[in-house]
Amino acid sequence: MALPSRRHAAVSPRGNLIRNATLVFDLDGTIADTAGDLIEAANVALAAQGFSTASPAAIRHGVGYGAKAMLRAALDETREAADEAELNHLAQQLVALYEQRIAVQTTLFPGFLDVAHSLRGRGAKLALCTNKTERLMTRLLSELGIAELFEAAAGRDTFPFHKPDPRHITQLVAQAGGRVPFAVMIGDSEADIAAARGAGIAAIAVRFGYAAVPADALGADAVLESFAELPDLVERLLGRVSSET
């Protein structure tokens, strides 16, 4: 009788890459589809101040770029104007309304939860790096029931700097107990990829995000079609790092 192969019992170098990895995720447009609640808050804020409401498609162009970007996108479609003071007031109203109903329509993107648990089970550290304020980030993570997935999480105001400043990533990785050379940024926007580039780490752009720039044009090291691909992409990208060091 042939002896069973020992090949499967050994820990492969690729397995070690996952075990040593720190995976830094963006929030809006990367792990969670938050557009519906943000669009609703924008239109309610506009209507309350006497402006016309805009189509979800128009406002969606600003999702991922902040409250003012969403409002400007809406006003462009309705051909109305707001001065800076009005825009600031509208933005404050939008955020207040959004906080009250932060996870009514919001859902996690398909496959994220399964792959997050799988990667953690293989020893990877997960971290969250978002330009949402820390208050909104904390509330949304709690509402979605995923706060415990992350070793560390940082919002726009957690540190004195935020994406695209690379220190938003490097400080977060240190907080998570990871090592920067073995970190990978997963995001959907120009700010995510620029921060990763500045930090000197690999970057993955998701195809299904909110950026106005197509994922292929963001300059990431790889483009993610679905979360099922993530472990293989991480191993491939960190394998390059290992071969270069």
Q: Which two tokens mark 13?
A: 């170098």
Q: What are the backbone dihedrals phi and psi of residue 163, each rounded to the nearest 5 degrees, phi first?
A: -50, 135
Specify whether 76 is catalytic.
no
Give 113-122 contacts, CB < 8 A, sequence gap 24+: 113/146, 114/227, 115/227, 115/228, 115/230, 115/231, 116/146, 116/149, 117/149, 118/231, 119/18, 119/21, 119/23, 119/230, 119/231, 119/234, 120/149, 122/15, 122/18, 122/19, 122/231
Q: What are the backbone dihedrals phi and psi of residue 114, each rounded to the nearest 5 degrees, phi first?
A: -65, -45
Whether omega for the bond prior to residue 164 falls within 30 degrees of 0, making it cis, is yes
Catalytic residue among 26, 28, 33, 188: 26
What residues are annotated to the active site? 26
